[in-house]
Structure 1
Amino acid sequence: MNTASRGLLSLLVIGCLSACSGENAEKSAAGAVSKAVELAKGAATGVGKGVDDGRKASTSADGAQIVTNGAELRAALNGKVLEATPAEGSVRVTLGFENAGAAPVRVTELDSLNNVTALDKDGYACTTQTVEREFTVPAKAKLKVDASFSCSGKNVPATVRVFDVEYAVATQS
Structure 2
Amino acid sequence: MKASMSVVLLTAVALAACSGDNAEKAASGTVSKAVELVKGAATGASKGVEEGRKASTSVDGALIVSGGKELGSSLSGEVLEAKAGEAVVVTLGFSNLGEVPVRVTELAQNNHVTALDGEGYACTTQSVDDEFTVPAKAKLKVEMAFACGGKAIAKVRLFDTEYAVPPGRIVSAK
Q: State the TM-score, normalizing by the size of structure 1.
A: 0.89
Q: Distance in 2 between matches of 1:47 and 1:149?
A: 31
Q: Does 1:147 align with 2:147?
A: no
Match for 1:21: what amino acid? S
Alignment of 1:21-170 (within 5 A): 21-88=19-86, 90-154=87-151, 156-170=152-166
Change in CA separation of 1:72 and 1:16 when aligned onto 2, cut-off 3 Å = same
How many residues are paired up? 169
Instruction: Give yes or no for contact 1:55–1:66 (8 Å, CA) kept in 2.
Output: yes
1:157 shift after superposition: 1.6
Match for 1:169: what amino acid? V
Moved over 6 A (4+): none
Gaps of 5+ in 1: none
Alignment of 1:13-28 (within 5 A): 13-28=11-26
Q: Distance in 1 between matches of 2:150 and 2:8?
A: 49
1:69 shift after superposition: 0.6
Instruction: Give yes or no for contact 1:5–1:40 (8 Å, CA) kept in 2.
Output: no
Q: Distance in 1 between matches of 2:13 and 2:91?
A: 57
Which whole-Å deviations, capped at 9, do the CAs of 1:114-157 have from their partners, x for residues lacking one? Answer: 11111112222111111011000011111111111111242x22
Match for 1:168: what amino acid? A
Which whole-Å deviations, capped at 9, do the CAs of 1:71-124 have from their partners, x for residues lacking one? Answer: 111111111111111222x11111111111111100001111111111112222
Which whole-Å deviations, capped at 9, do the CAs of 1:47-80 have from their partners, x for residues lacking one? Answer: 2111111112211111110001111111111111
Root mean square deviation of aligned Cα: 1.7
1:45 shift after superposition: 1.4
Q: Secondary structure at the match of 1:101?
A: coil
Gaps of 5+ in 2: none
1:11 shift after superposition: 2.2
Change in CA separation of 1:153 and 1:4 when aligned onto 2, cut-off 3 Å = farther
Q: Secondary structure at the match of 1:32?
A: helix
Give the structure 2 partner of residue 12 of structure 1. 10
% identity of equivalent residues: 62
Q: State the TM-score, normalizing by the size of structure 2.
A: 0.89
